[in-house]
């Protein structure tokens, strides 16, 4: 069982990712760290963590305002799933 992310989560975390990546790039430039693959991975990892945190903050805020969101249920049994969607079983 998992909760589906809200649209605000996706929008805010995407915007925060690019802003964080820009600031991290700028900071590493000021520190004189040369550009390369390791630096790119470092920027990606830190920007991803900041973005994830922003998305979690959006979800937490939305849950406090709207209440808990419904949880998506995934069927475990394939024949039951086929019956649900109205298809014949093989």
- pLDDT above 70 for 89: no
- What is this structure's pTM? 0.68
For residues 86 and 17, is the Cβ–Cβ distance under 8 A?
no
- Which two three-digit tokens encode residue 49? 């963590």
Q: What is the pLDDT of residues 55-69, one digit of tens each?
A: 999 888 888 887 766
CA-to-CA distance for 2 and 13, rounded, in angstroms? 19
Q: What percent of the chain has pLDDT over 70?
A: 76
Torsion of CA 20, 22, 23, 28, to 10 degrees: 120
Q: What is the pLDDT of residues 14-41, one digit of tens each?
A: 999 999 999 999 999 999 999 999 999 9
Residues 6+ apart with CB under 8 A from 41: none
- Strands (DSSP E) along 16-83, which ranges? 71-72
């Amino acid at each position: 069982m998992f909760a589906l992310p809200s649209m605000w989560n996706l929008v805010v975390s995407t915007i925060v990712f690019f802003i964080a990546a820009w600031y991290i790039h700028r900071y590493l430039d000021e520190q004189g760290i040369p550009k390369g693959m390791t630096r790119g991975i470092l920027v990606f990892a830190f920007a991803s963590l900041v973005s994830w945190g922003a998305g979690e903050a959006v979800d937490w805020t939305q849950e406090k305002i709207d209440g808990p969101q419904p949880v998506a249920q995934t069927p475990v049994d394939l024949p039951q799933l086929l019956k649900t969607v109205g298809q014949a079983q093989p």
